[in-house]
Structure formats: structure tokens, C-alpha cells
Amino acid sequence: MSVKYVPEPFRIKMVETIKMLSREEREQKIAEAKYNLFNLKGEDVYIDLLTDSGTNAMSQEQWAGVMRGDEAYAGASSYFKLVESAQDIFGYKYIQPVHQGRAAEKVLFGLLMGKGQYSISNMHFDTTRAHVELSGARAIDCVVPEAANPSLRVPFKGNMDVKRLEQLIKEHGADKVALVIMTITNNSAGGQPVSVQNIRETSEICKKYNIKLCIDAARYAENAYFIKQREPGYENKSIKEIVKEVFSYADMFTMSAKKDTIVNMGGLIGIKEDEKLYQLCKGRTISFEGFITYGGLAGRDLEALSIGLYEGIDENYLKYRIGQMEYLAGRLDDAGIAYQSPVGGHGVFVDAKAMFPQIPYYEFPAQALAVELYKEAGIRTTDIGSYMLGNDPDTGKQLKAEFEFTRLAIPRRVYTQAHIDIMADALIAIKERASAVKGYKITWEPPILRHFQASLEPLK
């Protein structure tokens, strides 16, 4: 039952040469990298699926915008253009550019939370969790239980478990819950979408207990496309209308613009109407990022971002984008390879627990599959499992992740159908020799966000 590939709604004007090393060279490179794929050189990778973040191909319009970028330190026209575009799409009064998503978290979370408080999210992304913890607060994930079952096909697996959210608020006390964060799409659950209904219900609970709601908006456009496809009542609405409704339920957003706005660097903070909060944000932006009208970005970046905001919500583009995921997922279905299904918006999250039942969570099955994919075809992916989750900040004990996913994150407008076939073929080849694959142990790790830097060693 094969899925048809949705042809690219663009043609190629500029190319970048890539090459595949021999298997012997790849085995040597990954050993030298201490089995951490972040330590590999980009040039030693054939197909780079480490992340869809900042790895997108910009359009001719965006490159033309790069040339038009206004590099004035203060009051650049590119800044005003960006603010106007973002206000138009999200309907928020205040827009602050920053250099990437985690900068938005750093600027905003330090103002909103601290020791003894909690942040509750459908799932915190790793840097989001890190900034909650750096503020002194604690992060609690509250995704619907369906998300933990990779083979269960339900339309909105990224949703907040709203019943549990209310229980958690009562348990900890509403005054201790500093923020509720809705991550759309739910990256850590597999790029799974969140429904409008769920966002509305979450918003109602927040209002009831007087807690602010923040959208972690990295993939708001892919989320809106899924809503249009799957949520009754939204099939005839435009992506822009859906985006506006979704954001109307929250008080603020943080955004990594390196995802759905199809640029290589950038981020945004949006504040619906709280002028006091915006004033405080401006102060911290100046300290951490730079003057408010550039926020750690060059004028040319602001310009490309303001164009990307519109390209990212183009429905023909989104149809091709999600279609690429569905094509790869279809090939895995045919081969009986388990992944977080239905497939999410920005990649395929392969269920490494199902592929390697012999490897326990503390020996990092999803990292093992990531290493195998590099050895097999020069494909670079990442662990979204216990290896990424790390240790409990209070006890130092290895945490057990809900999932052990190896994420094949697909950059936007970069790879073709033939590349996607190579990904599927590599996974099929690994599945055939899966029982012989062993786990890993960590030989060195830093205290926070360890997966970026840790050293590993294969177990005998």
C-alpha cells in the first residue's frame, strides 16, 4: 500500500555537493566522534537529518530580501517589516526578535518563574526544559497517554492531558504553577499535532486558575496544516485563519524561527497585550541579545524571516512538506518498521525500543540506532529518548524516557524523493540485522543538555 510522493512545488536553482564516505571511513569517523553524532563534521555526513532546525533552504525571495536587509543598529526598516508581518499572522501586539528559540526562553522565562515553581507543558522541548530548570523552577510534562503508544493512530497525539493538567495545578497549588506551555507541534512526542479544541480547553483551565499560557510555536504552521486536515470544522479555513485562532487562546509565545519560518537563524517572542511584560522583555533582550530592533540578528536575517513567515504558511508548500513525511512513513509501514504514528510534521520518529528490544533504556537504544544509520548510509539523526532526557536534576539518577525514538528530522525544501528512499532502505537493512546491535554507555557527560557533548562507548 504505497503512498504517492507529492512533487516539489519548486525547482532547484542552486546546488550543494554532498558525498558518501566508505563504510570503513564512516566507522572510523563515528568512533573518533565518541559515538556522539554532534561531534561529526558536516562534510562527513551524506544525508543530514540531525535536525530540521536552521537547515532549511531559503527561497529566491528570501535571498533577495537578504540583499535588502537594513543593517542600521537602531530602527532598521527590516525590523519594522518583521514586526508588521508577525502582528498580521499572529494577532499579537508586541513582537520581539531574538537570535533563536532558546534566547526567547532565556529572556522570557527568567521573568516568569523561579525556585519553588513549576512549568507544565504538553511536553517541554530539551532547551525549554533547560531554561525552566536554569530559572530554578521545575518542568512537568503532561501529554495525553495516547502519545506513549507509537502504534496507536489517533489524530492529535500531541495534545495536553487537560484532566491531569487540572489535577497537577490543584496538587501543587495554582500560585506555584508559573506557566503553562503548549508546544505546537509536540516535538518530543514525534512532531505530533495539537488540536484547536485542546488549546481552547487548556486556555480555559489557565484562565480559571489565573495562570499564563505560552505557546512554544516552533512548528505552528505544520500544526495548522494538520488541524485543517484532521479537525472537524477547519477543513475550509485558511492556514492563516487557523494560526490566528490558535494564538488567540494564549497570552504569549516563544518561537524558534529556524523551523516553520524556513530560515537558518532567528527567533521571536510574542506578547498578546501585556505591556508591562513587554517592557521587561525589552530590558532583558538588550542585556542578552542586543538592541530591541535587531535582537541578536543581522538586518538581513530579519528581512528573510519576515518573508519566511508567509512562505511557511503557504498551503501548497505544506502539502508537499507533510507529504514527504507521509511518503517515508508509508515505506516504513510496508517494511513493518515501527515509528510514532501517524507520522508527525517534521520527521519520522523511529521506535528504537521496538527495533532493539534487547537494549534497555539505560543503554540508549535510540542512540544505538542513530549510530547504525550513520554506519549504514552516512545518515545523521538524533536520539529523542533516555539519552537526550538525561539525569534527574535533584538525584542525579538516569531518567527513563517515555519513548526511545531515533528522529529523522527532515530539513525543509532540501532533500528529494531519492534521498528519502535511501533513508527507508537504510532502516530496512538495519532491521534485518537488529538482534546483533548492542547498547552504549556514557564515559563522560556535562551536567545539563548532555546529549550535545557527551562521550559514549559501545557495550561488548
Contact residues for ligand PLP (CB under 6 A)? 53, 100-102, 125, 127-128, 183, 187, 216, 218, 256, 258-259, 267
Neighbouring CB atoms inside 10 A of 95's CB total 22
Is 125 among the catalytic positions? yes
Is 259 among the catalytic positions? yes
Annotated catalytic residue, options 218, 257, 377, 434 = 218
CB of 306 to ligand PLP, least distance (A): 17
CB of 22 to ligand PLP, least distance (A): 33
Nearer to ligand PLP, 214 or 368 (CB): 214
Q: What are phi and psi of 210, to 5 degrees?
A: 60, 45
CB of 443 to ligand PLP, least distance (A): 26
The residue whose grid cell reads 537594513 is 70
Nearer to ligand PLP, 161 or 216 (CB): 216
Annotated catalytic residue, options 157, 259, 353, 431 = 259
Nearer to ligand PLP, 132 or 318 (CB): 132
Nearer to ligand PLP, 6 or 449 (CB): 449
3-state secondary structure of 349: strand
Rounded to the nearest 10 degrees, the angle between the axes of helix 196-208 and helix 162-172 is 20
Q: Point out the residue whose Cβ comes nearest to ligand PLP.
A: 101
Is 131 among the catalytic positions? no
Annotated catalytic residue, options 35, 92, 109, 125 = 125
Annotated catalytic residue, options 79, 327, 451, 454 = 451
Write the DSSP assignment of 151-214 as a string of letters: T---TTTT-B-HHHHHHHHHHH-GGGEEEEEEESSBTTTTSB---HHHHHHHHHHHHHTT-EEE
Using only C-alpha atoms, the chain has a radius of gyration, in whole angstroms, of: 21
CB of 449 to ligand PLP, least distance (A): 11
Nearer to ligand PLP, 257 or 454 (CB): 257
**Residue 296, by phi and psi: left (phi above 0), alpha (psi -120 to 50) or beta?**
left
Q: What's the count of helices (H) and strands (E) in the chain, helices before strands?
A: 16, 14
CB of 186 to ligand PLP, least distance (A): 8
Write the DSSP assignment of 285-302 as a string of letters: HHHHT--TTTTTS-HHHH
CA-based torsion, 235, 238, 239, 244: positive or negative: negative
CB of 138 to ligand PLP, least distance (A): 18
Nearer to ligand PLP, 266 or 439 (CB): 266
In angstroms, rounded to a whole number, what is the distance separating the alpha carbons of residues 141 and 148? 12
Is 353 among the catalytic positions? no
In angstroms, rounded to a whole number, what is the distance separating the alpha carbons of residues 390 and 373? 22
Is 93 among the catalytic positions? no
Nearer to ligand PLP, 101 or 365 (CB): 101
3-state secondary structure of 386: helix
Supply 344's cell numbers: 508527525
Nearer to ligand PLP, 89 or 132 (CB): 132
| 455-458 and 440-444 strand pairing | antiparallel
In angstroms, rounded to a whole number, what is the distance separating the alpha carbons of residues 227 and 213? 20
The residue whose grid cell reads 556535562 is 446
From the list 216, 191, 127, 222, the residue with the least C-alpha distance to 405 is: 191
CB of 235 to ligand PLP, least distance (A): 26
Supply 292's cell numbers: 530591541
CB of 343 to ligand PLP, least distance (A): 17
Is 226 among the catalytic positions? no
Annotated catalytic residue, options 44, 126, 260, 351 = 126
Annotated catalytic residue, options 44, 48, 70, 216 = 216
Is 126 among the catalytic positions? yes
Annotated catalytic residue, options 10, 73, 207, 441 = 73
Q: Which active-site residues does the annotation give?
A: 73, 125-126, 216, 218, 259, 451
